[in-house]
Amino acid sequence: MSSSEFLPQTQTHTRARVGGWDLLGSEISVLFRRRRTWAMLAAVALIPTLLAVAVRLSSSTLDPGEGPPFLDRVSQNGLFVGFTAMVVAIPLFLPLTIGVVAGDTIAGEASLGTLRYLLVAPTGRVRLLLIKYAGAALFCLVATLTLTVSGALIGAALFPVGPVTLLSGDTISVTESLWRSLLVAAYVTVSLLGLSMIGLFISTLTDVPVGAMAATIVVSVVAQLLDVIPQLDWLHPWLFSHYWLGFADLLRQPLDLGSFGQNAIVQVCYVAVFGALAYSRFVTKDILS
Amino acid sequence: MKLVSRNSLGWLPALVVPAVVVAAVIAVPFQAGATVDLPSKTPEQVLALVNDSTVSAFSGTVEQSADLGLPSLDLSAGMSDSMSKALPESTDGAIPLGMTTALELLSGSHEFRLYVGGESQSRVQIKDHMAERDIVHNGSDVWLYDSSTNAAIHLSLDLEASAQAKSAELKSQLPTDLANPAELAEHFLDELDPSTTVSVGTDARIAGRNVYQLVFTPRTNETLKTDTLVASVSIAVDSATGLPLQVTVLAQGQTAPAVQVGFTAIDFAAPNAGLFDFTPPATATVTEQAMPSPTEGATGDQPGDHSPAADEVPVVTGAGWSTIVEVPAAAMPAEVTDNPLLDQLTTTVDGGRALTTSLVTVFLSNDGRVFTGAVPLAALQAAAE
């Protein structure tokens, strides 16, 4: 970036000496002011909308067990839209958006030539990494909440709403089902934290954000491929994608938090390992742009 | 020079953190399997411990795995949808908990949640991928519910004719006995006879509890002519409560357990009574069934203890470990004999078709009779003649 003789319009660099919280606030506001972020959230909200509209317009009723899980229940109870949308979005769509956000973190600044201005301020590279990761993690939460809330709204708008039948056959009230929806959103958010850190690490390796984004998405697809190869079953519990669909345990009666815990442990391992790799790479990196 | 040292320090976390994480991942299961030293007991004392067990209410997670050398039949996994389509699916929802369940339990691993609230209250939840099958027993009511088909079956047990026996019979036909280590252990203890050596193995830790291991080994006795595929059966007994927590069956010439059912977590507090009060969801298809038809048992390869018509009574020959059960042609349900899966599973042998596993052999003779036992195929063929 040759034009960097003059201070360019940096993404995060608005004030020279700012505290960590200010920098975090500015990072978040930049992230959520981007048109790309809004477009991705809109696309996430489109998943339950499409599902609900398709079921509403279709005259044929589904047999139980046909299509994605819970789809046959949607026409009887709109609250299932969110659950079905979550199952549909987890394997590809959510990792895709996470890949874009996390892959852009460092490489995006580097490609814009703003990275070294960020580091001119005594922010410190560690703090910058933490702030970038916090922004990506917040996006995970916002994306899953967008899916859950838009699913509940479109479901309530198009279909009757009533007590929800859990996988165990027991029925819970609407209020409790909303709680469980939020729990599912929390589960999925936690599920994506490991991938976010992998994306951040990949982002420190390159100055080409598109490359980091694509690599992160490829990693998530490869992990899911490995997860279905029976010869690698010893590896499966340690793949970050292994428990992605385990939120079904939150839809059983009594509530089973076992897989929530296992999932959290696996994600913490990935955050620790790739956080350390990202730290080492970023601290030792020669920042040229 | 300074730069180099900063750089090499910078790379330190990249080496240390992954090493620590990997070490923890490896070390934690080791810790769980740390040696346990309980006061030594004779097999009789451990059996007495089981007999004196007063545990009547508990809840826990059970893991069941089978490695019988069969092709994977995990019908609940998304990968084998086509196989599950190959099964004749009847609309009344009677299949999901019958034949399919039985076949499924023979391969791969499954997780159950088990709730027992005394003699007449129990609930088994078979955890499937994005689905669940429930078996709820509460007094004279038994509910079977399958969330993937949203179908419920209600069975009313006949209380007049000895409710206990009936419920025991029903349980023997449902996968409950495969899911409940306590019942499995009792079954083996009843089978105990002079053909078996009983010993106490190494103490271990299962589901966070210290356990004694009762090991039953078939006697390789020339005079008894024992000829079995079973290498040993071990039952892990909780040292504090006497409740059997795990059953492991080893097959001849195979190091991995052929069948293993055991708790991975157990809680001796009485489960919430509301769990046994099952009301089917308003949208479910409910089928009322007086009693399950006797031949529809999920455990078709076990000696049936029901009393059907004379030409349907299974014939038991041999004794001890080399027992062979012969099921007459009339007793075989069409659901089993017409099943397309049968052709995939069995191979053509002299005089019929056979399914050989590391633990159990099934021989379907050409005249429609079915022989089964934990014996080599040759023994079944000999019995058929």
Q: What are the tens digits of pLDDT across the range B311-348?
A: 667 888 877 778 888 888 777 766 666 667 777 778 88
Of B10, B272, B283, the CB nearest to A284: B10
Distance from CA of A29 to the nearest CA of B (A): 31
Q: What is the dihedral of CA B97, B98, B104, B106, to 10 degrees?
A: 130
Residue B4, in any domain of the structure: no
Helices (H), chain B: 2-10, 12-32, 43-51, 81-86, 99-105, 163-173, 176-179, 181-191, 334-337, 340-345, 377-384
ipTM for the whole complex:
0.80
Instruction: Flag the least confident range among A246-250, B22-26, B195-199, B242-246.
Output: B195-199
Residue B9, in any domain of the structure: no
- Which residue of chain A comes nearest to B22, CA vs CA? A269
DSSP lists the bridge partners of residue A178 as none
User: Helix A125-158 and helix A258-284: axis angle, to 10°?
Assistant: 140
Is the Cβ pair A284, B11 closer than 8 Å? yes
Residue B156 and residue B256 in one domain? no
- For chain B, the straight-line distance linking the first and the last C-alpha, in angstroms and rounded, comes to 88
**What percentage of chain B exceeds 90 in pLDDT?**
16
How many domains are there within chain A? 1
Give the three-state DSSP class for B2. helix
Residue B168 and residue B218 in one domain? no
Residue A44, in any domain of the structure: yes
Sequence-distant (6+) residues with CB within 8 A of A177 are: A79, A163, A164
Question: Is A122 near chain B, with CB under 8 Å?
Answer: no
Contacts of B273 in chain A (CB under 8 A): none
Is the Cβ pair B147, A168 closer than 8 Å? yes
Instruction: Flag the least confident range among A137-146, A180-189, B1-10.
Output: B1-10
Residue B41, in any domain of the structure: no
Instruction: Flag the least confident range among A160-169, B35-44, B108-117.
Output: B35-44
Range of the domain at B237: 187-264
Place of tokens 């059907």: B308
User: Helix A80-89 and helix A125-158: axis angle, to 10°?
Assistant: 140
What is the pLDDT, as a whole number, of residue B62?
93
B-interface mutation test, from A168, A239, A273, most B Cβ less than 10 A away? A168
Question: Is A167 near chain B, with CB under 8 Å?
Answer: yes
Residue B170 and residue B256 in one domain? no
Contacts of A266 in chain B (CB under 8 A): none
Range of the domain at A215: 12-284
Of B13, B143, B265, the CB nearest to A280: B13
Q: What is the mean pLDDT of residues A48-53?
A: 93
Question: Is B131 near chain A, with CB under 8 Å?
Answer: yes
Of B254, B289, B324, the last residue of a domain is B289
Distance from CA of B131 to the nearest CA of A (A): 6
Residue A102, in any domain of the structure: yes
Question: Is B284 near chain A, with CB under 8 Å?
Answer: yes
Question: Is B95 near chain A, with CB under 8 Å?
Answer: no
Residue B167 and residue B74 in one domain? yes
Residue B166 and residue B283 in one domain? yes
User: Quick check: B280 and B214 in contact, CB under 8 A?
Assistant: no
User: Quick check: B274 and B140 in contact, CB under 8 A?
Assistant: no
Residue A289, in any domain of the structure: no
Place of tokens 């519990």: A237
Q: Has residue A126 got a pLDDT over 80?
A: yes
Residue B120 and residue B172 in one domain? yes
Per the structure block, which two tokens stand in for B173? 């036909």
Residue B276 and residue B174 in one domain? yes
What is the pLDDT, as a whole number, of residue B329?
77
Per the structure block, which two tokens stand in for A104? 């852009």
Residue B276 and residue B348 in one domain? no
CA angle B217, B220, B223 (to 5 degrees): 135
Question: Is B3 near chain A, with CB under 8 Å?
Answer: no
Instruction: Flag the least confident range among A83-87, A235-239, B195-199.
Output: B195-199
Residue B73 and residue B151 in one domain? yes
**What percentage of chain B exceeds 70 in pLDDT?**
68
User: Quick check: A274 and A200 in contact, CB under 8 A?
Assistant: yes
Between CA A276 and CA A179 the distance in angstroms is: 35
Q: Has residue A287 got a pLDDT over 50?
A: yes
Residue A269, in any domain of the structure: yes
Residue B256 and residue B374 in one domain? no
Residue B280 and residue B144 in one domain? yes
Query: Could you tell me if residue B41 is left (phi over 0), alpha (psi between -120 and 50 degrees) or otherwise beta?
Result: beta
Residue B27, in any domain of the structure: no
Instruction: Flag the least confident range among A88-102, B57-71, B162-176, B195-209.
Output: B162-176
Q: Has residue B369 got a pLDDT over 90?
A: no
How many domains are there within chain B? 3
Per the structure block, which two tokens stand in for A132? 């970038």
pTM: 0.80
Between CA A230 and CA A223 the distance in angstroms is: 13
Residue B211, in any domain of the structure: yes
Is the Cβ pair A269, B25 closer than 8 Å? yes
Question: Is B80 near chain A, with CB under 8 Å?
Answer: no
Residue B102 and residue B201 in one domain? no
Q: What is the mean pLDDT of residues B44-60?
A: 84
Supply the mean pLDDT for chain B: 76
- Which residue of chain B comes nearest to A225, CA vs CA? B79
**What percentage of chain A exceeds 90 in pLDDT?**
64
| Residue A213 pLDDT grade (very low, low, confident, very high; cuts 50, 70, 90) | very high
Q: What is the mean pLDDT of residues A155-162?
A: 91
